[in-house]
Amino acid sequence: MEEKKFYTDSRIEIKRVYPPPPNPQDEQPGVYPFTRGIHPDGYRGKLWTMRQYAGFSTAEESNKRYHYLLQNGTTGLSVAFDLPTQMGYDSNHALAEGEVGKSGVAIDTLSDMEILFNGIKLEEVSVSMTINSTAAILLGMYIALAKKQGASLAKLSGTIQNDILKEYAARGTYIYPPEPSMRIITDIFEYCSKETPRWNTISVSGYHIREAGSTAVQELAFTLANGKEYCRAAINRGLDINLFAKRISFFFNAHNNLFEEVAKFRAARRMWAKITKGMGATLPQAQMLRFHTQTAGSTLTAQQPQNNIIRVTIQAMAAVLGGTQSLHTNGFDEALALPTEEAARIAIRTQQLIAYESGITQTVDPLAGSCFIESLTDEVEKRAWDYLHKIEKMGGAVKAIESGYIQNEIAASAFDYQDKIEKGEKIIAGVNKFLAEEKAPENLFRVDDSIRQYQIEKLEKIKAGRDNDKVRNSLACLEKNAKEGINLMPAIVEACQNYVTLGEISDSLRRVFGVYKG
């Protein structure tokens, strides 16, 4: 009888047992190539930042949730923006109808940002903003608010996602063509290196690549390919990799296959160290891969939603065992609606239990030396390099995206994964096995459509009360700088300070750069 074979989700065959590696590496954490972590003491010195991703409805409602999360032990905020904000449309735009406040908070002007962080000192909290096409504008509003608070810009800490390449490849909330989009990103790199040195100017996101259906190996390979492309663009601008690479962070998905995920995180650090060193980085801080992790939204099921608490726990453990610097845990009810306060509380408690009760944090890289983990780390790395070499031969990530290569690879993997579920070859508890009769879910959190009108009324009030001569001058300066290749960030910050709307700024750049049709 033929022995049954087992595979990871990336189709790496899992052996029955693993012998010790023939040449075990004597690597130490905190030392190149950082396989075992970027800090010598791991979590013994400092725990990861416990973030909760939140944003919905109006700035007022989101502000209440932020205060609730901070009171329950969250140590960093992650802001979700609604689709119109992500796409550069004000709440009164025709295309915003039905979407205002639904997938995140609606932000039209600096006034909304002031309300969003009311009672929160920006110097004292780390804020991550999941925003890409309009990242420069939301960062401009954040900086304008910090100035109003009297905060030192040098003390601001946080991250903007600002990863447009994965939008073209996997998610779709792009506005401008690739070339001007890359120009905006390098403008942000340049500006923040001088004005906000502690701010992470990009979070290269594998998360959405994985949510679109990629394997762990593809998530790793395509994310690092994008990261390399951003470095290349910055170097071509004349920026010093030893400076800007220190402010690049990554954003990975934590999926259900515990050991493959740990291997992915370990391989990611090793590969990025080699990539940046090969591009000229000589400082260890410029070679270190620092990353935020979010548990996998695509694995959450509407059926038997309490099962999601266990899934999130497994995924969070993978992130911690893999050495994440920051973590968001999903609410168990997110396959049905925005998370309730109860779900958000359980999600943050999951992190706190791992941190304080599991013992995982007491030694660095607890799974290092495992015959299985070391072999799996090597195999994940090898397969990811195979992808990277193919992409380099195409001319880099932009060319690979424009040709459709990366999108097609993700689509094929997504189809294969779903096909296995439908055939019963992959078991999802409560979905295709271990079924149970269920009552209709109760007390789900919904956003009322009426908030669009409320947002429009606020917007009209701001427009009526602002200095519209300053608005016109701000927009004229912005368009001039866009045409002449001058760094856009100072003009964007000034426009935000003058209460120019997100849509007005985006439209000015649309007039200069055009709109990408895909």
The pair of structure tokens assigned to 416 is: 């294969």
Q: What is the DSSP letter of 308?
A: H
Q: Give the C-alpha separation, 483 to 472, whole Å.
A: 17
Q: Residue 215 CB: number of other CB atoms within 10 A?
A: 28
Contact 158, 127 (CB under 8 A): yes
Dihedral angle sign, alpha carbons of residues 200, 244, 190, 385: negative
Q: Which residue has 């168990």 as its token pair?
A: 332
Q: Give the C-alpha separation, 303 to 68, whole Å.
A: 28
Q: Of all helices (H) and strands (E), which one includes residue 263? A: helix 258-278
Q: Give the C-alpha separation, 77 to 52, whole Å.
A: 6
Q: Residue 50 CB: number of other CB atoms within 10 A?
A: 22
> What is the CA 242 to chain-centroid distance, rounded?
23
Identify the pLDDT of residue 24: 52
Identify the pLDDT of residue 25: 60
Q: What is the pLDDT along the chain (518 residues), one digit of tens a residue?
A: 577 899 999 999 999 999 887 665 678 999 999 999 999 999 999 999 998 776 778 899 899 989 988 998 888 888 999 999 999 999 999 999 999 998 899 999 999 999 999 999 999 999 999 999 999 999 999 999 999 999 999 999 999 999 999 999 998 999 999 999 999 999 999 999 999 999 999 999 999 999 999 999 999 999 999 999 999 999 999 999 999 999 999 999 999 999 999 999 999 999 999 999 999 999 999 999 999 999 999 999 999 999 999 999 999 999 999 999 999 999 999 999 878 889 999 999 999 999 999 999 999 999 999 999 999 999 999 999 999 999 999 999 999 999 999 999 999 999 999 999 999 999 999 999 999 988 877 777 677 778 899 999 999 999 999 999 999 999 999 999 999 999 999 999 999 999 999 999 999 999 999 999 87
At residue 290's C-alpha, the angle toward residues 283 and 489, to 5°, is 85
Q: Give the C-alpha separation, 366 to 467, whole Å.
A: 59
Give residue 280's region: left, alpha or beta (phi > 0; psi -120 to 50): left
All residues at 6 or more sequence positions from 495 whose CB lies less than 8 Å from its CB, including other chains? 140, 471, 474, 475, 477, 478, 504, 505
> Whole-prediction pTM value?
0.92
Q: Give the C-alpha separation, 490 to 194, whole Å.
A: 12
Identify the pLDDT of residue 20: 85
Identify the pLDDT of residue 36: 96
Pairing, β 6-7 against β 13-14? antiparallel
Contact 368, 36 (CB under 8 A): yes
Dihedral angle sign, alpha carbons of residues 498, 501, 507, 513: positive
Identify the pLDDT of residue 1: 58
Contact 205, 185 (CB under 8 A): no
By C-alpha distance, which of 396, 395, 358, 341 is closest to 228?
A: 396
Q: Give the C-alpha separation, 189 to 197, whole Å.
A: 10
Half-sphere exposure of 222 (CA within 13 A, CB side): 35
Q: Give the C-alpha separation, 144 to 133, whole Å.
A: 19
All residues at 6 or more sequence positions from 505 whose CB lies less than 8 Å from its CB, including other chains? 88, 137, 475, 478, 492, 495, 496
